[in-house]
A and B are shown apart, each in its own frame.
Chain A
Amino acid sequence: MNENHRQLHGLSRELIALRIANELEDGTYVNLGIGIPTLVSNWIEGRDIVLQAEIGMLNTGPLAAHGQVDQDLINASCQPVTELPGACYFSDCESFAMIRGGYMDVAVLGALQVSEKGDLAGWNNPERGFPERIGNIGGSMDLAVGARRVIVAMEHTTRDGDFKIVKQCAYPVTALGVVKLIVTDLAVIDVTPEGLVLREVAPGLSAQEVQSVTEPKLIISPVLKEIHL
């Protein structure tokens, strides 16, 4: 428990997603995980970014409007989606060959904890109390290992104010040393071999305030600035 915690106000979930959308480059193939990552799709309409759905699709379009639903066209969260021009379908097996094979430029994933070494814990919350080695792994481990760049999108702390950016993950890990960038409601943090570099803070926050809700020591970037959206 973080004893120094006080409520810090930062970006909404939608704006975390927008900050990540701004990080994505045109001409890239991107996979979005469940939760905040899914919201990134709202901010890239019209851009030259191809979304992959691990169920077996490229050029996944926005969520299907009512009356536009095709039961044979869903994303990995079982939401009815649409197809964009240039879409293609393939089997789940090929989808994961694509993911492990290094063809995804970016995977945006949610997380329960991220360590200062870039370890990601996201597939199993021990509070659920499943038997050992059991839980909903889904596509998370393949994406974490296979994508060229893993960006984590999450709230900076738990609802109780506990650290989510930690020295060592206490929760079961998804993959080791894979996270390259962390975007939260409070900060944008690069994971580097030297440690976590605080690059941006939410408007009105100080580096010290972000440090107070982050377990590992942050390296303050010499060009630290406010998150610009």
Chain B
Amino acid sequence: MDKVYPSIDAAVADIPDGASIAVGGFFTAGSPVHLLQALARQGAKNLTVICQSMGPGNEDVTTLVTQGQVKKAVCNYPFYRSATRGASSPFEKAVRSGQVELEVYPMGTFIEKLRAGAAGLAGFYTPTGVGTVVEHGKEKRSFNDRDYLLELAINPDYAFVYAWRGDRVGNLTCRKTARNYNPEMAAAGTITIAAVEELVEPGGLDPDKIHVPGIYVQRVVKVERRNYIPSIE
């Protein structure tokens, strides 16, 4: 069961217009930038991108926006923190003009929606967001005298994830805080594409230190580790 693709471009070649794609990475850490760059070359349109941020620390998502490939984004921290920086951001402009639709969820809710999708659940009740704008349009229900909101699962067509090491059958080991959203997004994607810095043969990873079991990963591609200084400015 060899899941290795010969190139990044081959791994994203079949993504159709209208696909939904969960993209791992917390700002700069563990972001599958090579796959985003390949998607920009591939050109699929009307995409729904499910990603923490649309620009800060993740400028490669911005290319998809400037090329008009994104119809909708689902985020928890979409914008630059600085108003001045945000004002010049293509994504913020596209949201303000109505060109891109945006849904925002609290961070814990955002990733739990993907976990629920991965785990065969329709949704879950969370206390987060009660009494805030997040309540809008959602069922509110009381359990043991505490209010909760019903949040529904997200089942993306694709997931782009990043790992430090991966084997040919799709097992992945992440490194430090570059793990972040990658495991749950990998599990949630119908087709999950993993970019790995180091590709090893089956048996090359310690089975006790695997963060993403290979069953969740359909495609593996080897990429070069980029070196950068983390920043969201």
Contact = CB atoms under 8 A, between A and B. Distances in A.
Interface of A: 34, 53-57, 69-80, 83, 89-93, 95-97, 99-100, 119, 127-128, 130-142, 145-146, 172-176
Interface stretch (B12-20, B122-130, B199-207): B122-130
Summarize A's interface: helix, strand, loop or mixed: loop
A57 B126 CA distance: 22
20 contacts: A57-B176, A57-B177, A70-B176, A71-B28, A78-B28, A89-B179, A90-B179, A91-B181, A93-B183, A96-B107, A127-B83, A128-B83, A131-B96, A131-B102, A133-B136, A134-B78, A136-B104, A137-B105, A139-B107, A175-B131
A76 to B, nearest CB: 8
Contact of A71 (B79, B104, B180, B230): B230
Interface residues of B, number: 55
B89 to A, nearest CB: 12
A66 to B, nearest CB: 10
Interface stretch (B39-47, B108-116, B152-160, B215-223): B108-116
Interface of B: 26-30, 56-57, 76-79, 81, 83, 86, 95-96, 102, 104-109, 111-112, 114-115, 126-134, 136, 164, 175-184, 211, 227-232
Nearest to A76: B26
Contacts of A53: 177
Contacts of A173: 131-132
Given A73-B177, A78-B232, A96-B108, A137 B164 contact: no
